[in-house]
Structure 1
């Protein structure tokens, strides 16, 4: 995988543990088939960030009623994640703690209508490390929104996943080109 995006990965920087947060996007039962292959690097990334005292925030995508479907209702009308269903719950394999924040969302962005930006600013966060699923939808949208809102973005290449390798590669290339520093669980272990 690395060779396909290396030409776009021309910027290098390490996250600052004092001003970073780890975002774990939508690792829910609904996406378990996609998420299971990245559980090891994702778990490693979570543990690495915790050891470096980097807060971990999880997001959970769910819909409470047709009023909050928006365009997703048109696009994914047969595949919406309904609140209160087992599919809407975070995967039990995640190393979550009782006091971990879970941001509830109903669109691709972790920022849209969630209070995430205000929470991060109140915490003194300047940088976000993005992990989770799906790379080309919720992870990418959240990363791009973080960038345009003034946060430095680090995007994981091995703790993100989607349904198709071409989509994974396209997102990583786009983000490396214009929005995010690329990281993986090994590089984070070495620099944090």
Structure 2
């Protein structure tokens, strides 16, 4: 076959726009990761890092959290925090433009209260974008016997997307919530979903994730 430039481009575009991973999403093998739905990103007007799209999608994500609880899918929360006096953060972070602000968090970092975080659920305080970087997340998931992670939260193209890539590289099956993730510039949402769809994750809406978690187990 003669692989023309037009054929190759068309094939790539189809994978970015309509590609779909082929693995099943089983509740007994899955864990829900709720990434950084914390005050400075979700609480309206509270910080210069507010992500309005995250506030808007929060009720939908809260419903998915409740659905996962009902399906015995562990809910694991993360917070982007000043752990170990900031000395465990990648050194270059301080030089990047989004960190250029005089704002300081007025109190301890916490999950935004309307999200309904519970004390009997795991909360990981992470020093960088990805939830696997210098955290016990991988060990926790393996101890739980979970090989599928459902990534939700904010920001789509930073902490959520990095976590999805890290999970993929560690051998996890990754589900990425297309309408239960959000970013600070909504024009960046679909380009990030396109890359994840083609190379890293099964990209689904919250309703689709809930439906798949509720499907009966296939007979052997």
Is TM-score (shorter-chain normalized) higher than 0.5? Answer: yes
- Return the alpha-carbon distance in structure 1 between the equivalents of residues 21 and 123 of structure 2: 31
The normalised TM-score by structure 1 is 0.89
Task: Decide which structure has the larger Cα Rg and report it.
Answer: 2
Contact 1:30 1:81 (C-alpha < 8 Å) held by counterparts: no
- What is the 5 A alignment of 1:60-99? 60-64=79-83, 65-69=85-89, 70-75=91-96, 76-79=98-101, 85-86=106-107, 88-99=109-120
Query: What is the root-mean-square deviation of aligned Cα atoms in Å?
Result: 2.2
Contact 2:147 2:172 (C-alpha < 8 Å) held by counterparts: yes
The answer for unaligned runs of 5 or more in structure 1 is: none
Contact 1:81 1:87 (C-alpha < 8 Å) held by counterparts: no
Q: 2:177 aligns with which of 156, 168, 178?
A: 156
Contact 1:140 1:171 (C-alpha < 8 Å) held by counterparts: yes
Change (3 A) 1:81 1:88: farther
Matched, 1:52 2:71: yes
Matched, 1:15 2:25: yes
Q: Give the total of aligned pairs.
A: 188
- Return the alpha-carbon distance in structure 1 between the equivalents of residues 102 and 73 of structure 2: 32
Contact 1:17 1:54 (C-alpha < 8 Å) held by counterparts: yes
Q: 1:140 aligns with which of 143, 149, 161?
A: 161
The normalised TM-score by structure 2 is 0.78
Partner of 1:38: 57
